[in-house]
Amino acid sequence: MSDLLLLSGGIESSAIAAWLRPSLCLTIDYGQLASQAEITSAAQICKELKLKHLVRKADTTQFGSGDMLNRKGSVHSENSEFWPFRNQLLITLGAMIAMQHDCARILIGTVVTDLRHKDGTKDFIVAMNKLLIIQEGKLNLSAPGIELTSIELIHKSKISTGTLGWCHSCHMSNFACGQCRGCFKHSEIMRTLGYER
């Protein structure tokens, strides 16, 4: 099956790239503050893994909120990085590109700890998959890491330390700010793997 991976250049989607080697990796600049770093990271990761990479732009800054735009969060979530319907949006944009490139399945880097957001739950993946299947193209959605922690996914993927070193996780900036949820999580993972103290 030909797969399109939504590749943000973060740890989880990069691990899935190394693990499942999708036919196409897509990075979307949807207006998030860290878009340039995400594109650079994703491009380098695809180069290392010898995977096809595509970058597309859809400016949705007028629609979002939270850390990724350095705006205040939403009353609907206690998480400062919350951007309403973000995964739904990215999957939809990814599905449009998947149709153009004859990809039958979309892969997303959701892991078990992402359930702090409703669009990071198994229920969401199942519902979104169903929504895609009933439409033209009958695309599938899969989150291969949904039962795994980030560390388990990294081990399973056998991603090299060199490739992992290119990942960008900061939500706020093109340079790791060290202060956001993305940076905290990145540091925690690197510490667990023994790369950082």
Residue numbers of the site for Zn ion (CB under 5 A)?
A: 170, 172, 177, 180, 183
Q: Please report, to the nearest 10 degrees, the dihedral formed by the alpha carbons of residues 132, 135, 138, 142 taken in order.
A: 0
40 vs 121, beta carbon nearer Zn ion: 40
Residues paired with residue 29 on neighbouring β-strands, in sequence order:
57
Measure the CA–CA gap between 4 and 101, rounded to whole angstroms: 9
CB of 58 to Zn ion, least distance (A): 23
Our CB check for Zn ion shows the closer of 34 and 148 to be: 34
Looking at beta carbons only, is 28 or 183 nearer to Zn ion? Answer: 183
Give the Cα separation of 169 and 34 in Å (integer): 9
Give min distance, CB of 180 to Zn ion, in A: 3
* Separation CA 108–CA 40 (nearest Å): 19
In the bound state with Zn ion, the residue whose beta carbon lies nearer, of 8 and 157, is 8
Q: Which tokens in the block code for residue 188?
A: 């925690």
Give the separation between CA 39 and CA 76, rounded to whole angstroms: 29
